[in-house]
């Protein structure tokens, strides 16, 4: 488990979008997380940083709706990578999304979402109509 981070190429931002109405209707997450545009990633890949203590902030139309830190993860990054690699084969270029802090809520067409991670950058996207 100790060497798990040595296989990480870098870190970036990811907006983990979910259609909560479909999640409730279907009773699982596959369709609710799988629409085109539902997983914006970027703006770039940052290497050689310690990602274990970074501030995470999400803005919806300029208002803070999520504020947390990688210190607040339920499981440390090393354990997540170790566990996932025991369940499935990870290949170069695979992305592991660590989840989202509390503060989720509805988004509507034309809303602007910004996901900011300290030392990595800001991912900006606009909600489009499904």
Residue 1 pLDDT: 62
Q: Residue 31's CB: how many other CB atoms inside 10 A? A: 12
Q: What is the rounded CA–CA span in Å between residue 2 and residue 65?
A: 34
Which helix or strand (DSSP H or E) is residue 66 part of?
strand 63-69
pLDDT tier at 123, thresholds 50, 70, 90: very high
pTM for the full predicted model: 0.87
Domains annotated for the chain, with CATH where assigned, are: 2-126 (3.90.850.10)
72-101 pLDDT per residue, tens: 999 999 999 999 999 999 999 999 998 888
The three-class DSSP label of residue 77 is helix
Give pLDDT tens digits for 44-82: 999 989 998 999 999 999 999 999 999 999 999 999 999
């Amino acid at each position: 488990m100790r060497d798990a981070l040595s296989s990480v190429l870098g870190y970036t931002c990811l907006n983990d979008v979910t259609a909560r109405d479909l999640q409730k209707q279907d009773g699982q997450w596959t369709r609710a997380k799988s629409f085109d545009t539902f997983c914006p990633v970027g703006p770039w890949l940052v290497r050689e940083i310690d990602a274990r203590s970074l501030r995470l902030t999400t803005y919806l139309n300029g208002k803070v709706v999520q504020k947390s830190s990688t210190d607040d993860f339920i499981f440390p990054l090393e354990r997540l990578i170790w566990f996932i690699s025991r369940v499935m084969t990870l290949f170069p270029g695979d992305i592991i999304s660590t989840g989202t802090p509390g503060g989720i809520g509805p988004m509507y067409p034309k809303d602007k979402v910004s996901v900011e991670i300290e030392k990595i950058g800001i991912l900006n996207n606009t909600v489009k109509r499904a």
